[in-house]
């Protein structure tokens, strides 16, 4: 399966305007944003767990990165409330589920296969710091290596923000809204910019809070070799 698989193009999905689709596991639904592959896929997805739903125990051969959007995600490693940022590296394993239900934004098979760095952060307990070069922008670094940079950003109301996507960029709106390319991006809207692109976005009247990844599209993405 290929969905939004031309990484040389700007693409966007207003996820809250599309229907939930069932996953192979009962009680777990998803809204696909991009995908290369079938059930084993390089994928970016919003996943909803119904109350008392669980996935079977499994190993993340290609790694898993996710941000809890609402509710409490749970596995044998702990309870992770909305705002939790998790990186489960290749060859890690768990049994995910949610007693009361939750929604997560998740990226699969997008790691360096040699990466073994486990990250578990509660962003509710972290602070934004002023951006060094853009007034009205606060940044909360989550992860950085030679391949990519991941952060949360908070944009003040009506702020113009330069998006310099030399290595590509992805943005997911967590709160508020912004305008870019003639489009209005609101809660859980997702935008992907190709490498070597540059554009300007403008925060809405109430500002915006976003998850942002940069630099990860320098190497052309491909489906898992399985």
Strand intervals (E) in 76-136: 78-81, 84-88, 92-94, 97-98, 102-108, 119-122, 129-130
pLDDT means over runs of 10, the chain (226 residues): 96 97 92 93 97 87 96 94 97 92 97 93 97 93 96 98 96 98 97 97 98 96 85
Same fold, 2-123 and 127-214: yes
Residue 125 CB burial class (10 angstroms; 0-12, 13-18, ≥19) = exposed
Question: Do residues 156 and 204 touch, judged by C-beta distance below 8 A?
Answer: no
What pTM did the predictor assign?
0.96
Residues linked to residue 193 through DSSP beta bridges, in sequence order? 169
Helices vs strands, H then E, count in the chain: 0, 22
Check residue 8 and give its pLDDT.
96
Residue 58's pLDDT is: 84
Decide if 168 contacts 162 (C-beta within 8 A): no
Per-residue model confidence (pLDDT) at position 32: 97
Q: Classify domain 2-123 at the CATH class level.
A: mainly beta
Q: What does the alpha-carbon distance between residue 194 and residue 94 come to, in Å, rounded to a whole number?
A: 33
**The CATH homologous superfamily of the domain defined by 127-214:** Jelly Rolls (2.60.120.10)
Q: How far, in Å, CA of 71 to CA of 178, rounded?
A: 25
Q: Is 168 exposed, middle or buried (0-12, 13-18, 19+ CB in 10 A)?
A: buried
pLDDT of residue 55: 82
Domain boundaries, the chain: 2-123, 127-214
């Amino acid at each position: 399966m290929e969905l939004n698989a031309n990484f040389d193009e700007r693409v966007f999905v207003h996820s809250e305007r599309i229907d939930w689709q069932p996953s192979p596991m009962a009680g777990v639904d998803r809204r696909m944003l991009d995908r290369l592959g079938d059930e084993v896929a390089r994928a970016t997805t919003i996943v909803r767990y119904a109350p008392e739903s669980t996935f079977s125990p499994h190993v993340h051969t290609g790694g898993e990165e996710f941000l809890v959007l609402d509710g409490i995600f749970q596995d044998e490693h702990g309870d992770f409330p909305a705002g939790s940022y998790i990186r489960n590296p290749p060859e890690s394993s768990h049994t995910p589920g949610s007693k009361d239900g939750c929604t997560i934004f998740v990226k699969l098979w997008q790691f360096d296969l040699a990466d073994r760095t486990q990250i578990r952060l509660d962003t509710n307990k972290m602070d934004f710091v002023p951006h060094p070069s853009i007034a009205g922008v606060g940044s909360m670094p989550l992860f950085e290596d030679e391949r990519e940079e991941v952060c949360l950003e908070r944009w003040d109301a009506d702020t113009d923000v330069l998006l310099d996507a030399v290595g590509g960029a992805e943005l997911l709106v967590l709160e508020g809204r912004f305008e870019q390319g003639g489009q209005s991006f609101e809660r859980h809207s997702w935008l992907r910019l190709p490498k070597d692109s540059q554009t300007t976005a403008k925060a809405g009247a109430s500002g915006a809070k976003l998850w942002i990844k940069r630099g990860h599209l320098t190497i052309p993405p491909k489906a898992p070799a399985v």
